Amino acid sequence: MISLIVTAYEDPNSTKESIRRLLNQKNFNEPFELIAACPDEPTKRVIMDYKKKYPKIIKYVKQDNPDKNQLMNKILNLAKGEILIWTDGNKFVDENAIRLIVEKFRDSSVGCVGGRPVPQNSRNELFGFWAHLLTNAAHKLREKRFHDGKFVEQCANLLAIRKGILNEIPKNVAEDAIIPYLIFKKGYKNIYLGDALVSVMYPKNFNDWAKQKIRSAKSHEAMNQYVPSNQVKQKTLLNEIFYGFTFVFSFPKNFKELCWTSLLYPARLYIWIKAFYEIKIKKSPYVAQWSRSESTKVLDYKK
């Protein structure tokens, strides 16, 4: 049994499409359940409509509070699958992704598999170009670390784990970093699968972009509570600076994209300074609660 899990938040139209794509996977013949969770009524109605059509497959879970990691722990206890595959209501999983992920788990030593996010945004505008550049950089880094036998921080947009390895996910830390680390620490394989694609809409304006990146930086700083060494942490300021010279400036295809690439460095420096200020000066650490940027809602974006 496989458990496909969709965690959604105030994006009914996107969630409808997300679930539709999961129900229409190609060459996937395993028995499965689909667990969908949300706190809001509009998204719940979409889930319940699916439940009427597929009563033996669809399960609805009410999210009682905004703490996402607590919701994940609740689902950990409810899911019946041997493999749990997580995504979000505003992410669209490729039609072959689930089959590719499940195949990796046929090796009993595999505990975690992460997919590859690809932007829905157009490369022909600033924030869309940044999304393509950063996701490609992350893909190359994950791919290299995996092939070098090093720990890989996965992406929560498409993350699969073997049930029974973790009884609880720590609160107030990035789930896509801590889950693979804890599984890796227990001696299981942590696999990056670049062929398992998930389509993601990234922020379309600076306010949403900064909000998302600051939150991400703060969440990874919270890893210090659980990870004693920086050797397993990928998302650091130094990594961005040094890795940038080997990849980032080879990515632009024309002068306009080169200019946009140059603008990314001061923008990223601002993110790290702002995150440092909030954590160290304001004493405002990361909190694992839903805080989705409005422009990342694929089919529910309200300008």
Task: Domain ranges for the chain, please list them.
Answer: 2-292
| CATH code for the domain defined by 2-292 | 3.90.550.10
Dist CA 197 CA 99 (whole Å): 11
Residue 147 near residue 114, CB atoms below 8 Å: no
Q: Which segments of 154-226 does DSSP mark as H helices, in order?
A: 175-185, 206-221
- Whole-model pTM: value is 0.90
Per DSSP, 226 falls in state T
Residue 99 near residue 26, CB atoms below 8 Å: yes
Q: Which position has the token pair 């699958």?
A: 81
Residue 161 near residue 112, CB atoms below 8 Å: yes
What is the residue-level pLDDT of the chain in tens, covering all 303 positions? 999 999 998 899 999 999 999 999 998 989 999 999 999 999 999 999 999 999 999 999 998 877 788 889 999 999 999 999 999 999 999 999 999 999 999 999 999 999 999 999 999 999 999 999 999 988 998 999 999 998 898 999 999 999 999 989 887 787 888 899 999 999 999 999 999 999 999 999 999 999 888 887 777 776 777 776 555 555 555 555 555 556 677 889 999 999 999 999 899 889 888 888 887 787 776 665 555 666 776 666 655
Dist CA 1 CA 80 (whole Å): 7
| Adjacent-strand bridge partners of 191 | 113
Per DSSP, 123 falls in state T
